[in-house]
Structure 1
């Protein structure tokens, strides 16, 4: 595992991290401040999550089932989104925007409790790990997508000047270490969400 190489590569990714943060923040604001405009799309996204939640709650030992679902859902999507960036970065961008808007929309619906209380109890305990990890995965997916675009633009250059292919190969070399880090952190986040967050929400 080349964790030192991965951390060094993070410095090369700083512009992608900034872009991801900005897009996520804008998406969050759109979901929160314009909930009526996007309610059809967002309600459709939430409906599936509600049905899964109801199904898990009806099982014996729901916390264990919540843990399994949360971990597998987040881990599989976060790993896949890196490689789905090969489709010109469209799917990582969609995941980023959708997650930001859904989070903003969910917070806009809170009427019984203050938004601060909902954030502290239902999002912060696990979200402080989960959200940055998902954003990093999306950033790498966008990076892969941008390199695919660059490779297309470099097709007519001499082979020795086709830097995008070499850069993409380097990202894929680091992806093994990145995946291990993502899965380990999302495992920790799932443990927190299915225990501490679950307990705080059901107080």
Structure 2
């Protein structure tokens, strides 16, 4: 597939992209206000993040690899398990959005909006769209599977090939770039803001 073909495919899945962005944004807002209204419940969501604190004790290159693999696993899972009628991509979108809202509230309360932006934007400007695209492709695969189960015309195997193509050509390299930025550039920017 050429870049022109990839661009055409992206235009063809705009509705799935819109759904993934909507679900993520809605649950991020819900997470933010949940953290404000029920701090104990919010704390139970961030326990997983506290268990991952050991990652920060690793050498920077190892931190980058771990971040990359974690995000790649989430993206590949959201995308390829979309074949489960799109349920997994919706779970990935809503749980990640909700968690970001909770973490965002905590960061704003402790250090302010500028600190939150410094902690998210440098790598998030790449990482979030890539993860949301993975979710959108997963939703598309789930929709194609539903159509084929209903005996409607759909090229499920062709859609799967496109999904794997996007995973290898775009999602993996961009997530690697985002992980490098998160490891080496984001901490520097946060230190300037803090």
Match of 1:114 among 112, 115, 139: 112
Offset at residue 113 of structure 1 (A): 1.3
Name the structure 1 match of 2:164: 176
What is the root-mean-square deviation in Å for CA atoms of aligned residues?
1.8
Offset at residue 199 of structure 1 (A): 2.1
Q: Within 5 Å, which residues of 2 pair with 1:151-162?
A: 151-154=148-151, 162=152
Offset at residue 175 of structure 1 (A): 2.2
Match of 2:66 among 66, 69, 74: 69
Gapped regions of structure 2 (runs ≥ 5):
none
Specify which structure has the higher proportion of helix.
2
Alpha-carbon distance between aligned partners in 1 of 2:164 and 2:138, rounded to the nearest angstrom? 14
Are the counterparts in 2 of residues 6 and 177 from structure 1 also a CA contact under 8 Å? no
Name the structure 2 match of 1:158: none
Name the structure 2 match of 1:163: 153
Alpha-carbon distance between aligned partners in 1 of 2:131 and 2:93, rounded to the nearest angstrom? 8
Deviations, residues 98-144 of structure 1 (Å, cap 9, x unaligned): 111111111111322112x1232100000000000000000011111
Query: Does residue 1:201 correspond to 2:179, yes or no?
Result: no
CA 12–38 in structure 1, closer or farther in 2 if over 3 Å, else same: farther
Name the structure 1 match of 2:99: 102
Name the structure 2 match of 1:190: 179
Alpha-carbon distance between aligned partners in 1 of 2:66 and 2:103, rounded to the nearest angstrom? 20
Gapped regions of structure 1 (runs ≥ 5):
155-161
Q: Provide the TM-score with structure 2 as the length reference.
A: 0.89
Alpha-carbon distance between aligned partners in 1 of 2:166 and 2:68, rounded to the nearest angstrom? 17
Offset at residue 38 of structure 1 (A): 8.4
Query: Does residue 1:86 correspond to 2:76, yes or no?
Result: no
Asked which structure has the greater CA Rg, the reply is 1
Offset at residue 202 of structure 1 (A): 4.1
